[in-house]
Amino acid sequence: MKIASQELVAANLPTTTADLLAIPVLEDEAGGPLLSVLDKALGGVLERTMADEDIRGKRGQTLLVHTHGKISAAKVLLVGLGKKADVNEDGVRRYAGTVARRADGVRAKEIAVALPDSKVDATITLNAAAEGLALGLYRFNRYLTKDKQETVTAAATLLCGKDARRPQETLDKAAAVVKATCLARDLVNEPASTLTPGQLAGHAERAARELGLHYSEMGPKEMAKERMELLLAVSRASVEEPRVVRLEYTPKGPARKKIVLVGKGLTFDSGGLDLKTAEGMLEMKVDMSGAATVLGVMMSIAAHAPNVHVIGYMGCVENMIGGKAYKPGDIIKSRAGLTIEIGNTDAEGRLVLADVLSYAQERENPEVVIDLATLTGACMIALGPTTAGLFANNDELAKAISVAGDENGEEFWRMPLNDGLKELLKSPIADMKNVGNRYGGAITAALFLKEFIKDGVTWAHLDIAGPATSEKDRDYLAKGGTGFAVRTLTRYILAQG
C-alpha cells in the first residue's frame, strides 16, 4: 500500500478528501479538538450517535458514520484508544491495524488517518501507525481462486504531529520492516510441499540478492565434511536435501558489535519415528518460523544499515519417516563432539540447532548469539499461545530483548535455565540425551542448547512455538504466520549500532 504523511491540522479535517477518515477517540478526552471540529461540520451527528451507541473511547470501540457529502470524506471512522496516559507505541500500531481492517471491510480505497496525540513521540507514532496499517492489510490469498479477497485499501495519508522528524525516511523504514515481516508470514503460511528446505533457501537467496546481503548455503556434502551428524540424522528419511543458509550484513563503517542469529527451519516436522498424532502434525508446516524470522530480520537490517555486523543462519531440514529414518535409541555424535542418545525423534529442532550453533560460533566468533525456534509445545503450556519463552545467559541481553519486545507488542517472558534440571538430560551410554521427562520441557530444551554455546558468548534462546502463529485475526495480526520477532530483533539490533 502507498502511505504518505501530512501534518495534522484540526481545522482542515472537514476538507480532507478520502473514502474514509479515521479519528482516534481517547476515553478521557471524548470530545477532543478533532471530534468537535468534525462534529460541527456534520451538524452534531457524531456526538448524537456516540451518545446513542455509548461510544466513549474505550479501547477497541469503533463507530462508522456516513457523512452524506457534508464534509469531503465519505465516511468517518471513530476508534477508541482508551485513556491518553495508557496509549503506548503498540497501542498506536493496534489502532492503525483496526483502522486498516475496517476501512478495507467497507471497501475504502483511499483513507486518511489522524494519529493520536499521546505521550508517545510523534516520530515513533508515525512509524508504528505505518506498520500497523500495512500489517493489518496482510492476507495470505495466493491459493484462493474463487473469492480472492483482494485488499481494496490501497493508499493512506497519515495525519501526524508536526514534531515528526524526517517523515519520509520514517515511512520508508516502516515499509522495509513490513515487507520483511510479510515475507516471513508468507513463508510460515506456505504449505510444506511447496516450501521444502531447498525452496526456503531459494527464497532467502532471492531476498538477499535484492537487498545486497551476502548469501551462501551448505548442502549435504558440506554438512558431512563439517561433521553435522545431528542435523543429517534428522534429515535422513526425507527425500528433500537439507540446507544451511548463511546471510551476512556487513556495515559500511566499523562495526560496533558482531551478532549471529540462528533459526530453526524445519519445513515439516512429522515427529519422525516418534510420529506425531494427526492433530499434532497438522500445523507442522510452521516449524520453520524461526528461520523465517531470521530471514525477515536480515532483510530489515539491510534496509536500516546499522553499524552492526549481523550474520543470520537458517537450519532448513525436513523431519520424516521411512526406512532410512534415524531411530529412538540411536547415538549420534554432534559437530561439537558430544555424543547424543536419541530419546525422542520429535525433539529434532534442538539437534539441528546444536550443529548450526556450533558451526556458526566457530566460523564467526560473535559476541552475541540469538537463536529462535518453534522448539517445544511445553513452552506454550507454560506461557500460553501469544508469549515467547526467553532464555539467556546474560541479564542485559534478556532485558534489551524484552524491552524491544514491549515496544513492539511482542511479549517475551524470561524463563530460568536451572542447572539442576540438567540431570534429566543424562544418559548412561552417551554424553547426553536429547529429551528430559515431561516436566519443564521448554527448560530442558534450552539447557540442551546451552551445552553448545561457547564460553564467553552472550546468548539468548527464544522459544516462539506459540506466538509464531496466531489462532485468529487480531489487531494487525492475521490468522496464521505472524512474523513474530522480526520487529523486536530489528529494534534490538539497531540499538546496538
Footprint of ligand BES (CB under 6 A): 269, 283, 287, 344, 346-349, 374, 376-378, 435, 441, 465
Strand-pairing partners, residue 4, are: 157
Rounded CA separation 238/326 (Å): 11
Of 349, 409, 440, 481, the one binding Zn ion by CB under 5 A:
349
C-alpha cell at 122: 510523534
**Residue 111 near residue 21, CB atoms below 8 Å:** yes
**Residue 269 CB, nearest approach to ligand BES (Å):** 5
Q: Does 316 engage in binding with Zn ion (CB under 5 A)?
A: no
Closer of 101 and 433 to ligand BES (Cβ) = 433
**Residue 379 CB, nearest approach to ligand BES (Å):** 8
Q: Report how far apart the first and last C-alpha atoms of the chain are (Å, whole number).
A: 30
Considering only 47-55, 101-109, 287-295, 462-470, which stretch makes contact with Zn ion by CB under 5 A? 287-295
Q: Does 266 engage in binding with Zn ion (CB under 5 A)?
A: yes
Q: Which of 56, 256, 276, 414 is catalytic?
A: 276
Rounded CA separation 31/50 (Å): 10
Residue ranges with strand state E in 228-308: 243-249, 258-269
Q: Does 466 engage in binding with Zn ion (CB under 5 A)?
A: no
Considering only 41-49, 247-255, 285-293, 405-413, which stretch makes contact with Zn ion by CB under 5 A? 285-293
Strand-pairing partners, residue 261, are: 312, 370
Beta-carbon-side half-sphere exposure of residue 258 (alpha carbons within 13 Å): 10
Tell me the backbone φ, ψ of residue 215, rounded to 5 degrees.
-120, 135
Q: Which of 350, 433, 487, 491 is catalytic?
A: 350
Residues in the chain, overall count: 497
**Residue 378 CB, nearest approach to ligand BES (Å):** 5
Residue 344 touches which member of Zn ion, ligand BES, none, C-beta under 5-8 Å by kind: ligand BES
Nearest to 415 by CA among 469, 460, 350, 356: 460
**Residue 459 CB, nearest approach to Zn ion (Å):** 20
How many residues belong to the site for Zn ion (CB under 5 A)? 6
Q: Does 90 engage in binding with Zn ion (CB under 5 A)?
A: no
Of 19, 90, 287, 355, the one binding Zn ion by CB under 5 A:
287
Considering only 279-287, 404-412, 445-453, 465-473, which stretch makes contact with Zn ion by CB under 5 A? 279-287
C-alpha cell at 467: 506466538
Closer of 102 and 285 to ligand BES (Cβ) = 285
Q: Residue 402: CB partners within 8 Å, gap ≥ 6?
A: 390, 412, 413, 414
Interior CA angle at 184 toward 183 and 187, to 5°? 85
**Residue 244 CB, nearest approach to Zn ion (Å):** 17
Q: Residue 117: CB partners within 8 Å, gap ≥ 6?
A: 161
**Residue 416 CB, nearest approach to ligand BES (Å):** 18
DSSP 104-157: HHTT-SEEEEEPP-SSS-HHHHHHHHHHHHHHHT----TT-SSS-------EEE
Q: Does 269 engage in binding with Zn ion (CB under 5 A)?
A: yes
350 flagged as catalytic: yes
Closer of 89 and 269 to ligand BES (Cβ) = 269
Catalytic residue set = 276, 350
Applying CB under 5 A, the residues found at the interface with Zn ion are 266, 269, 287, 346, 348-349
